[in-house]
């Protein structure tokens, strides 16, 4: 299929601007935007080829930027998988202008900002957000990534370890494993086969091979072979622009409380000859691929467009244009004849059954006008009557279905139909695959009238017109990603979001022709189907005859077979299923989009209690700032029965799942038209949300409530829901270790909570009769808390509340009967709970470390606690992750406990190292923070306060954010709606002495008053024994003393480049080295030297020697239930403010 011609900008569309510090061009046509969008846009082009979209937002209280480089992991060198990802990591580690490695993150943290980046297949995106006044400083630091990064040699090993840790974090994740199997099973030699995330092995193998061949000399680090234009052999390297720059002193700061190992590993941070070769290749690759013409930038700020333009031109013009193709296309599809017409079976880690049918597509952005592949996705993914989903669900074979196009890379795409099967559905997997082709056959043989496209066009136009603002960094990322689309520059905002109607008069070039051309390619001969489930399920359904291969990077077992001729014949036959038919018109498309806009001086910062009866309380706020025809409703139906036991909790969940399941066909059109709902069980009862266009929101609300009230439990659907819940509970134990440790910490500190094991024990035995009784009882006595925010007046909101009361017909209970409370750690406590990681193949352990700081209803505790958590956050990441390399997942943040009345700071670390060792390092970090706090300048302290004040004073960006702010106060019952602004004001008078006193009393490990709990989730996978650098140095001296010739450079390069070495590697190196000198020194001496090792291991222990580390002074929790029962519960919640919205209630 041939893509439409690429759009080009009309002649004369660009105009040169030369009155600023650096000349550039501006695009003269106005940028198409929604009438609702009050921002101003301008596209500019620098002389180096970089294009930028400037967004002026006069109301902004947060600025942002995103730079998208049109190079991703498909552009990695063939012999160095993961290099683009490694580059993304190292760019954060300092620039010539700002050499301190955490300068960028520290600047952002002090200015209410944050940053991140990701490496895609064809692009790498870097982005940040920051307070508006700090945008120039942030952009200055950011721009240096792209013209003068240091790629500091001292960071090489640490960021290699970070990439490796990230890979190991993902290693047991089915999404990553299946993705890589799909890539592996591509055309031989195709870039799609590459291993994108990389690991230490993939990034070091080239250097290891060169070293083994004697092509890397350890004496001076000089690289031979291709010729080294970047190094001089003394750890001094040229930055990309050619300046000699050693690792700056302030970029090499060691951990403030180093362990023996971390201190040594940081001194050897360039990785020796192998690490230097990896760095050389990185600089070589960056210097070629990071070309200005490949960069698309979006900046969102408060400054006028002219000022933003001058700022961007000044800061980003130094990026060189290296003459590369701006948007390199890979048009060869990874699916060839050998890949199509196959069935691939993949073994999963988690328990689920899925089936995905994929078809190759060309690159989709050139089809931006009519989006024909999405048109087909609309039908194949439909869930209404006559749909594929409806047919398979009624058979009891699927729990979910999705369909649509997916751009895989710049140049090719895929159309995918994914079925989430029940165990019975998996038994019929061939029938399910045939059903997909029967539906496609029906589409091919059916007239598809233009009104379908007209409906899609109307829905997209309505969505575009009333799109709300997003967080500025999210928006900047979206814009920079889509700037590479082949559309006229004036349409870079609108084209990706709008769908044009078909031109019914154009039978050759219209949208229907494009759609039919794609539909004709969706054949069984051009498909690949992937089955996904656990190994034992393959044995159960397919027997033991399958021959399994293993994908090389994740070790995922897979099996490939060609589809039989008989199956292909069946899949090519016309549709014979009468249950399949096309959907009708969407009755939920809104017709009343009126918004009465009444300008207000200041938007209200809280909702109002407008209705209160014995059965319900209604909080309401009419939209006074976003002016969109939308509303959000939260309905919390509370009952003491819902969470009275683990079994009751499970039954409430099953009840909510059955309601959702029964409404699928009805609610699907509403969801397409921009009106959605969610219903689920939680600790207080049944939680229901509705959001979207308010025009028909009451229709959806009525149907959901009536279905909940009148639901008759269908035994067959209950079995499906039970199986789904069971698998979810089982899969929880296969989650990443840090999620487990966080969960258990929350469990231990919550008054009424059940473990996943308790829920799993109950779910399989719930009967239809028992569940029916539970539903009746749970809805018989309730209190309803409602929050309505948006384009709804008081009377409309009140009618909604009255409707809920009328439908439920429940007996009222007191509003404060069902509450949530946390458990309070006693003063002077140090508790530890240990539990194994259930997944025996998971290499990572985790530590969740929590210290309680007190009652969060007291502003004099709450605000300082938040400030202290903010101050600890960036250094915790910098020390524990960046410098000490404990693991990829490291975070320190404020934690508010269940019920919202207790607060503290939580530090989480996921690592291959033991949790007890991690706790030692967290303790050491916290002890070091005493001096940092004590010596912190008044200016720096004020920066931290200012950053937090700005965060609290930020206005909500959309209706959803506003609702979330209000709901926590309604949910917990404190009604402290002005808390953010009040705390920001209070913070003004908080002193450094107060923060230091709070730290020393509540956080410092030396405190006798501290209340601390840590959860150790420990990997069951054995760790290889290690030997420390000091032990190796001592051993080398003993070897030399016994008459051997010792090559110090050689053994350090071989063993100590990464710090501590595996014992197996250490033993192998010295065995070979001593054996080589057997003719000059007696073998008996070598034998005697082996006895010297064990004492050295004790004298100089490795940081991670596999030995158990003792947590000093800790009380180990033996039985969690007993421990929880020993703790005092927090006070019952009560309103902190009496708003007096209503007269005194008569009830």
CA distance 959 to 963: 6
In this structure, what token pair is assigned to residue 646? Answer: 């683990």
In this structure, what token pair is assigned to residue 751? Answer: 């008054």
Of 15, 40, 88, 101, the active-site residue reads 88
CA distance 1008 to 831: 13
CA distance 29 to 528: 45
Q: Are 861 and 753 in contact (CB under 8 A)?
A: no
List all residues 6 or more positions away from 677 whose beta carbon is below 8 Å from its beta carbon.
Answer: 667, 670, 688, 689, 690, 691, 700, 701, 704
How many residues can be counted in the chain? 1147
221: region left, alpha or beta (phi > 0 left; psi from -120 to 50 alpha) = left
Whether 971 sits among the annotated catalytic residues: the reply is no
CA distance 929 to 998: 12
- CA nearest to 733, candidates 658, 813, 840, 657: 840
CA distance 730 to 180: 24
- CA nearest to 1135, candidates 906, 975, 904: 975
DSSP per residue, 929-984: HHHHHHH--HHHHHHHHHHHHHHHHPPPSSHHHHHHHHHHHHHHT---TTHHHHHH
List all residues 6 or more positions away from 985 whose beta carbon is below 8 Å from its beta carbon.
Answer: none
Q: Is 1112 helix (H, G, I), strand (E, B) or coil?
A: coil
CA distance 1094 to 1099: 9
List all residues 6 or more positions away from 988 whose beta carbon is below 8 Å from its beta carbon.
Answer: 945, 949
CA distance 338 to 95: 47
List all residues 6 or more positions away from 638 whose beta carbon is below 8 Å from its beta carbon.
Answer: 684, 685, 782, 783, 784, 785, 813, 817, 818
CA distance 345 to 539: 12
Q: Is 121 helix (H, G, I), strand (E, B) or coil?
A: coil
DSSP per residue, 221-275: --B-SS--SSB-SSSEEE-TTS-EEEPPGGG-PPPSS--HHHHHHHHTTT-HHHH
Matching residue, tokens 């710090």: 1059
Q: Going by DSSP bridges, is the β-strand pair 902-911/1026-1027 parallel, antiparallel, or unpaired? A: unpaired
Matching residue, tokens 């992750």: 881
CA distance 54 to 300: 6
CA distance 159 to 888: 10
DSSP state of 696: G
* CB-neighbour burial class of residue 1101 (10 A; exposed 0-12, middle 13-18, buried 19+): buried
3-state per-residue secondary structure call for 1012-1049:
EEEEEEECCCCCCCEECHHHHHHHHHHHHHCCCCCCHH
CA distance 586 to 592: 15
In this structure, what token pair is assigned to residue 700? Answer: 């959806």
> Phi then psi for 1060, rounded to 5 degrees?
-55, 140
Q: Are 439 and 927 in contact (CB under 8 A)?
A: no
Q: Going by DSSP bridges, is the β-strand pair 1115-1116/829-836 parallel, antiparallel, or unpaired? A: parallel
Q: Going by DSSP bridges, is the β-strand pair 902-911/889-896 parallel, antiparallel, or unpaired? A: antiparallel
User: Which residues belong to the active site?
Assistant: 88
């Amino acid at each position: 299929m041939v893509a439409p011609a690429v759009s080009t900008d009309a002649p004369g569309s660009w105009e040169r601007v030369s009155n600023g510090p650096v000349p550039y061009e501006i695009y003269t046509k106005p940028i198409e935007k929604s009438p609702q969008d009050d921002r101003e846009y301008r596209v500019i082009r620098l002389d180096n080829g970089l294009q930028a979209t400037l967004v002026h937002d006069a109301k902004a209280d947060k600025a942002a930027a995103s730079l998208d480089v049109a190079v991703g992991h498909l552009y990695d060198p063939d012999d160095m998988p993961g290099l683009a990802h490694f580059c993304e990591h190292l760019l954060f580690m300092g620039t010539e202008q700002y050499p301190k490695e955490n300068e960028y993150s520290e600047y952002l943290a002090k200015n209410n900002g944050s940053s991140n980046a990701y490496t895609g297949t064809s692009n790498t995106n870097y982005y940040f957000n920051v307070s508006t006044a700090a945008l120039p400083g942030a952009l200055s630091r950011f721009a240096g990534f792209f013209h003068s990064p240091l790629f500091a040699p001292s960071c090489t090993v640490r960021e290699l370890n970070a990439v490796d840790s990230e890979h190991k974090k993902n290693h047991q994740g089915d999404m990553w494993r299946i993705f890589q199997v799909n890539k592996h099973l591509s055309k031989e030699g195709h870039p799609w086969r590459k291993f994108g995330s990389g690991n230490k092995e993939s990034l070091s193998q080239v250097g290891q091979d060169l070293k083994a061949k004697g092509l890397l000399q350890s004496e001076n680090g000089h690289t031979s072979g291709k010729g080294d234009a970047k190094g001089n052999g003394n750890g001094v390297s040229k930055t990309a622009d050619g300046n000699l720059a050693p690792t700056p002193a302030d970029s090499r700061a060691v951990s403030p409380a180093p362990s023996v190992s971390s201190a040594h590993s940081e001194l050897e941070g360039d990785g020796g000859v192998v690490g230097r070769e990896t760095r050389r290749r990185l600089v070589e690759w960056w210097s070629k691929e990071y070309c200005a013409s490949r960069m698309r930038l979006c900046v969102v700020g408060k400054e006028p467009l002219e000022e933003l333009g001058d700022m961007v031109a000044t800061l980003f013009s130094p990026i060189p244009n290296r003459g590369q193709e701006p948007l390199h296309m890979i048009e060869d599809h990874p699916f060839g004849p050998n890949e199509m017409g196959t069935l691939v079976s993949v073994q999963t880690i988690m328990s689920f059954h899925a089936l995905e049918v994929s078809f190759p597509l060309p690159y989709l952005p050139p089809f931006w006008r009519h989006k024909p592949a999405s048109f087909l996705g609309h039908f194949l993914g439909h869930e209404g009557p006559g749909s594929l989903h409806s047919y398979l669900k009624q058979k009891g074979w699927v729990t979910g279905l999705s369909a649509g196009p997916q751009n895989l890379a710049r140049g090719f795409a895929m159309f995918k139909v994914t079925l989430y099967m029940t165990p019975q559905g998996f038994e019929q997997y061939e029938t399910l695959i045939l059903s997909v082709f029967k539906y496609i056959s029906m589409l091919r043989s059916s007239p598809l009238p233009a009104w379908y496209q007209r409906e899609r066009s109307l829905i997209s136009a309505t969505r575009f017109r009333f799109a709300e603002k997003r967080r500025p960094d999210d928006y900047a990322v979206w814009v920079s990603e889509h700037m590479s689309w082949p559309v006229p520059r004036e349409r870079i905002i609108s084209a990706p979001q709008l769908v044009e109607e078909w031109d019914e008069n154009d039978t050759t070039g219209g949208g229907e022709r494009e759609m039919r051309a794609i539909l004709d390619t969706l054949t069984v001969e051009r498909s690949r189907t992937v089955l996904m489930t656990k190994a034992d399920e393959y044995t159960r359904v397919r027997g033991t005859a399958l021959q399994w291969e293993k994908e090389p990077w994740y070790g995922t077992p897979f099996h490939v077979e060609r589809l039989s001729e008989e199956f292909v014949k069946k899949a090519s036959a016309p549709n014979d299923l009468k249950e399949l038919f096309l959907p009708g018109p969407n009755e939920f498309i809104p017709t009343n989009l009126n918004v009465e806009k009444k300008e207000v001086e200041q938007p209200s910062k809280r909702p109002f209690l407008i209705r209160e009866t014995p059965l319900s309380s209604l909080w309401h706020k009419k939209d006074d700032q976003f002016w969109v025809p939308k509303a959000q409703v939260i309905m919390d139906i509370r009952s003491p029965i819902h969470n009275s036991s683990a079994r009751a909790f499970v039954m409430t969940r099953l009840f909510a799942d059955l309601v959702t399941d029964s409404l699928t066909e009805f609610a699907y059109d509403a969801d397409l038209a921009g009106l959605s709902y969610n219903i689920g069980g939680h600790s207080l009862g049944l939680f229901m949300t509705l959001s979207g266009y308010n025009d028909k929101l009451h229709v959806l609300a009525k149907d959901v409530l009536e279905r909940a009230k009148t639901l008759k439990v269908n035994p067959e659907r209950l079995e499906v829901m039970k199986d789904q819940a069971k698998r979810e509970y089982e899969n929880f134990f296969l989650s990443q270790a840090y999620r487990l440790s966080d969960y258990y910490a929350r469990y231990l500190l919550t008054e009424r909570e059940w473990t996943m094991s308790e829920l799993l024990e109950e779910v399989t035995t719930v009967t239809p009769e028992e569940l029916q009784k539970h539903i009746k009882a749970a809805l018989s006595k309730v209190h309803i808390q409602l929050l309505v925010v948006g384009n709804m007046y008081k009377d409309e909101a009140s009618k909604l509340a009255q409707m809920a009361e009328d439908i439920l017909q429940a007996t009222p209970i007191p509003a404060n009967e069902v509450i949530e409370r946390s458990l309070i750690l006693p003063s002077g406590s140090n508790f530890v709970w240990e539990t194994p990681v259930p997944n025996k193949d998971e290499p990572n352990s985790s530590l969740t470390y929590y210290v309680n700081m007190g009652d969060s209803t007291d502003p004099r505790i709450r605000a300082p606690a938040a400030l202290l958590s903010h101050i600890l956050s960036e250094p915790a990441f910098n020390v524990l992750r960046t410098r000490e390399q404990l693991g990829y997942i490291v975070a320190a943040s404020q934690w508010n406990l269940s019920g919202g009345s207790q607060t503290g700071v939580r530090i989480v670390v996921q690592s291959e190292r033991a949790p007890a060792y991690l706790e030692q390092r967290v303790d050491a970090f916290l002890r070091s923070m005493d001096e940092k706090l004590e010596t912190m300048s008044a200016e720096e302290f004020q920066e931290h306060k200012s950053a937090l004040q700005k965060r609290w004073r930020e206005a909500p960006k959309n209706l959803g954010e506003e609702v979330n702010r209000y709901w926590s106060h309604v949910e917990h019952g404190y009604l402290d709606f002005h808390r953010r602004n009040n705390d920001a004001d209070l913070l003004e008078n908080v002193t450094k002495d107060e923060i230091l006193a709070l730290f020393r009393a509540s956080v410092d490990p030396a405190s006798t008053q501290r209340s601390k709990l840590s959860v150790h989730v420990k990997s069951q996978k054995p760790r290889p024994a290690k030997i420390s650098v000091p032990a190796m140095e001592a051993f080398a001296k003993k070897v030399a003393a016994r008459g051997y010739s010792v090559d110090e450079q050689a053994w350090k390069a071989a063993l100590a480049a990464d710090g501590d070495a595996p014992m197996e590697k250490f033993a192998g190196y010295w065995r070979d080295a001593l054996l080589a000198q057997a003719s000059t020194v007696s073998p008996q001496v070598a034998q005697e030297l082996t006895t010297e090792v064990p004492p050295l291991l004790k004298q100089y222990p490795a940081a991670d020697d596999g030995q158990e580390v003792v947590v000093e002074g800790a009380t180990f929790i033996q039985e969690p239930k007993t421990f929880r029962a020993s703790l005092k519960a927090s006070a019952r919640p009560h309103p902190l403010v009496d708003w007096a919205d209503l007269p005194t209630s008569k009830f």
